[in-house]
Amino acid sequence: DAGVTQSPTHLIKTRGQQVTLRCSPKSGHDTVSWYQQALGQGPQFIFQYYEEEERQRGNFPDRFSGHQFPNYSSELNVNALLLGDSALYLCASSYPGQVAGNTIYFGEGSWLTVV
Amino acid sequence: QQPVQSPQAVILREGEDAVINCSSSKALYSVHWYRQKHGEAPVFLMILLKGGEQKGHDKISASFNEKKQQSSLYLTASQLSYSGTYFCGTLNAGNMLTFGGGTRLMVKP
């Protein structure tokens, strides 16, 4: 049973560029959330997708956008990259229903460095 | 508003015990505990749902006091493999997980 998979694992971008990160949820999961984890800090919630729609959004600018496909996979897009966007980007998947009791599984993350 | 974890860091000798606390100013639906090793993704440890609920896995257990909006993680007879950063995550009504700042745990031989 494959867990949450993310790609690419590492990438380097230049300020002002755009980046797309990809995520495939764990089998049976249809809800995907994205988190940003800066060095030495806890993961910060970016947004969550369910049924191909953004269901919740954290305190991130519109430069951060996403998409969920019919097969539940998801993309995170960041435009006009800033140095401060350098971080580990984590994708997490879960299955809705009894929301509070659902385990949320994380992928290995995508390390983004902006130079 | 993110939950507050304490202590921020702790150093143990193998076999010693530790307690990590997590508190929130907002009503909690559940508390999720994760451990993250350097350069890796967070790994799920356990989830607590109900007030007063306690859970255990091997020598790691946790409690959740819904009324006090607090959770504690107990590590008993610590092993070298317990080293890492522990995060508590609190879930709101909209299924948004908010993480604390983390507790860095180092277990020495």
Q: How confident is the model at residue A32, as a pLDDT?
A: 93
Question: Considering only alpha carbons, which residue of chain A is nearest residue B97?
Answer: A45
Cβ-contact B5, B21 below 8 angstroms: yes
User: Is pLDDT at A99 greater than 60 in this prediction?
Assistant: no
Q: Which amino acid is at A7?
A: S
**pLDDT tens digits, A50-69:** 889 998 899 999 999 999 99
Helix (H, G, I), strand (E, B) or coil at B11: strand
Residue B95 and residue A41: Cβ atoms within 8 Å? no
User: Is pLDDT at A115 greater than 80 in this prediction?
Assistant: yes
Q: How confident is the model at residue A101, as a pLDDT?
A: 66
Residue B40 and residue A108: Cβ atoms within 8 Å? yes
Chain A nearest-CA distance from B104, in A, is: 10
Order of strands across the sheet that contains A19-24: A5-7, A19-24, A74-78, A64-68
**pLDDT tens digits, B6-63:** 999 999 999 999 999 999 888 777 889 999 998 888 998 988 886 656 666 678 999 8
Q: How confident is the model at residue B18, as a pLDDT?
A: 96
Cβ-contact A36, A47 below 8 angstroms: no
